[in-house]
Amino acid sequence: MPTTIQVDNETLDLLKRFKNSLNAESYNDVINAILKGGLKKSMYGTLGKEKNMKSILRGLRDEQDR
């Protein structure tokens, strides 16, 4: 039984990219692959080139911890 779900544009773009990279026939196949852990590719480069460890960790601590 088909169901409609709502996702924002960013999520839709991610689903489209995964669908293309997996050569999946449908978004349903993509979601199932993600939920079943079928995406075991390296996450290297996911944050992009402009992200470094200092910028990622900056702001994670409370002001009181500084």
Of the pLDDT bands very low, low, confident and very high (cuts 50, 70, 90), residue 34 is confident
User: What does the DSSP assignment read for 13-52?
Assistant: HHHHHHHHHHT-SSHHHHHHHHHTT------TTTT-TT--
Of the pLDDT bands very low, low, confident and very high (cuts 50, 70, 90), residue 22 is confident
pTM of the full structure: 0.53
> Which amino acid is residue 48, in one-letter code?
G
Tell me the pLDDT tens digit for each residue of 44-62: 666 666 666 777 677 676 6
Q: How far apart are the C-alpha atoms of 35 and 60, rounded to whole Å?
A: 28
pLDDT of residue 11: 92
Q: Where are the domains of the chain?
A: 9-65
